[in-house]
């Protein structure tokens, strides 16, 4: 069977963790061999330093900013507004700007390490629209997220396919959060001609486009495909191919996602406090096993379930294992419905490969889906995951994503045959 006809489901099955698989392959790597986590175009490209006093600069910069730095023996750690499995940061961001004051119409790479934009392509009568929304021209911004997959497959091998797409969803969530703070409209797009775009942006087999955020005014107008190819620049200092990841990507890029009507979320966060949450967002490493209030819990749960502004959608169902929420009986819930009463903190700790955060949290969440498009579903899960981080941090509650769990045993515990795409913990 051609690779493109194998469904996302079989790729998901092929990367399941079990008690045995984790014993046999615990993913140890020599940290000194980690590929570089920052892409830098050659120095002859024109660059623009981003300045936080300029609102357009701040909007772009906050989508990917470095927010915490620490030096360890293996080198500096640079943590960002977006979380990433293993802090490996496979995702990159490109932004096309057309008719934006102070900018040449063009496609820019966001150089996160140096907080600058690199102009990699100047527009004439061409642009990204023709690959994404043919027949339209966007005055404003078109963000693209991509994955330099080797940064993640270096450690997580085939399972990194999941992490690349989850990380990408988180990054889209970080772009949406910055847009919210800068009062910009957004629409996410997952179904478009990613494969032609990869070829024209010169990504070879080493980087691939995952998602798109449009922020601007659409006008009916034909825009040509890029008249020139962007030269290849490697996003890592060295590279080892992984055929499995390339196949998952290829297959899931050709399959349409489910469709829904476009609906926008309505949030009314305090701007300053929300900016603080974006800027200070971190993954908790250890919980104090304290309870959270029922009010905070419902607020988070309701806010994360607000509409996602996209027509390409995959339904994500959320199971919540409540351990420590004042006034709520411990147990397994689907939304507000209690499915199984009981204290399951030891169980969720075990299911998440004996990670204490899944045991000591107030609530451990599991995201499941009966998706059509696997790539879109994981990105939506990551997008919701970014909301979980930001909204819990906004209301003073800690959070962490969890990508490592025993798949079949988790499914069995939840009593679902839908795929478990992601887990998250919240608490104090
Ligand atoms: C998809 C994904 C999976 C993750 N899985 C785990 C996990 O299994 N265990 C854990 O402790 N942290 C996990 N994390 C959190 C990352 O380790 C964390 O985001 C990274 O170290 C950067 O730190 P920061 O989130 O504080 O910026 C995950 C994060 C993401 C986005």
Distance 404 CA to ligand 1 centre (A): 10
Q: What is the mean pLDDT of residues 260-279?
A: 98
- In the chain, what are the domains? 3-254 (3.40.109.10), 284-427 (3.40.109.10)
Q: For the chain, how long is the longest CA-to-CA vector? A: 63
Look at ligand 1, atom 2, and give the residue with the nearest C-alpha. 85
Distance 86 CA to ligand 1 centre (A): 6
Distance 403 CA to ligand 1 centre (A): 8
Ligand 1 interacting residues, C-beta cut-off 6 A: 79, 83-87, 163, 166-167, 170, 282-283, 355, 357, 400-404
pTM for the structure as a whole: 0.98
Please provide the average confidence, as pLDDT, over all residues in the chain. Answer: 96
Which among 316, 357, 403, 410 is the best mutation to test ligand 1's pocket, defined by most ligand atoms within 8 Å of the CB? 403
Q: What is the pLDDT of residues 210-227, one digit of tens each?
A: 999 999 999 999 999 999
The tally of CA atoms less than 13 A away on the side-chain side of residue 312 is: 25
Residue 193: burial class (beta carbons within 10 Å; 0-12, 13-18, 19+): middle
Least confident of 25-34, 127-136, 227-236, 307-316: 25-34
CA torsion sign for 318, 379, 64, 40 is positive
Contact present, 207 and 120 (Cβ < 8 Å): no
Helix axes 160-181, 271-280, angle to 10 degrees: 150
- For the chain, report the end-to-end CA distance as a whole number of angstroms: 49
Q: What is the pLDDT of residue 4?
A: 47
Distance 105 CA to ligand 1 centre (A): 36
Q: What is the mean pLDDT of residues 129-137?
A: 98
Is a pLDDT exceeding 50 seen at residue 114?
Answer: yes
Q: What is the pLDDT of residues 359-392, one digit of tens each?
A: 999 999 999 999 999 999 999 999 999 999 999 9
Counting from 1 in the atom list of ligand 1, the atom nearest the Cα of 79 is: 27
């Amino acid at each position: 069977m051609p690779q493109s006809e194998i469904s996302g489901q079989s790729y998901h099955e092929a990367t399941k963790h079990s008690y045995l698989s984790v014993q046999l392959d615990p993913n140890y790597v020599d940290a000194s061999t980690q590929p570089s986590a920052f892409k830098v175009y050659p120095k002859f490209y024109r660059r623009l330093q981003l300045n936080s006093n300029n609102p357009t600069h701040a909007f772009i910069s906050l989508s990917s900013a470095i927010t915490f730095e620490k030096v360890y023996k293996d080198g500096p750690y640079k943590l960002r507004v977006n979380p990433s499995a293993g802090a490996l940061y496979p995702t990159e961001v490109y932004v096309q700007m057309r008719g934006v004051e102070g900018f040449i119409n063009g496609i820019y790479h966001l150089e996160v390490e140096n907080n600058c934009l690199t102009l990699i392509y100047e527009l004439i009568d061409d642009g990204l629209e023709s690959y994404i929304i043919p027949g339209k021209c966007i005055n404003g911004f078109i963000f693209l997220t991509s994955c330099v997959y080797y940064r993640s497959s270096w450690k997580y091998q085939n399972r990194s396919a999941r992490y690349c797409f989850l990380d990408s969803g988180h990054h889209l969530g970080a772009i949406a959060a910055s847009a919210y703070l800068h009062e910009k409209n957004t629409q996410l797009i997952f179904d478009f001609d990613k494969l032609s775009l990869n070829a024209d942006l010169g990504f070879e087999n080493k980087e691939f486009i995952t998602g798109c955020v449009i922020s601007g005014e659409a006008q009916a107008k034909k825009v040509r495909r890029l008249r020139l190819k962007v030269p290849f620049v490697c996003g890592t200092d060295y590279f080892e191919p992984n055929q499995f990841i390339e196949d998952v990507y290829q297959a899931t890029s050709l399959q349409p996602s489910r469709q829904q009507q476009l609906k926008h979320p309505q949030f009314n966060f305090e701007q300053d406090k929300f900016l603080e949450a974006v800027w200070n967002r971190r993954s908790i490493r250890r919980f104090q096993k304290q309870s959270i209030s029922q009010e905070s819990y419902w607020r988070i749960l309701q806010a994360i379930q607000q509409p996602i502004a996209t027509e390409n959608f995959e339904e994500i169902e959320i199971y919540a294992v409540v351990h420590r929420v004042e006034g709520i009986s411990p147990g397994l819930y689907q939304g507000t419905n209690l499915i199984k009463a009981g204290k399951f903190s030891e169980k969720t700790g075990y299911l998440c490969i004996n990670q204490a955060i899944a045991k000591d949290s107030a609530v451990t969440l599991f995201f499941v889906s009966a998706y059509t498009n696997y790539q879109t579903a994981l990105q939506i899960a990551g997008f919701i995951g970014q909301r979980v981080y930001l909204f819990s941090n906004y209301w003073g509650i800690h959070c962490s994503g969890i990508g490592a769990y025993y798949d079949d045993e988790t499914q069995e515990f939840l009593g679902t045959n839908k795929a478990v795409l992601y887990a998250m913990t919240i608490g104090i």
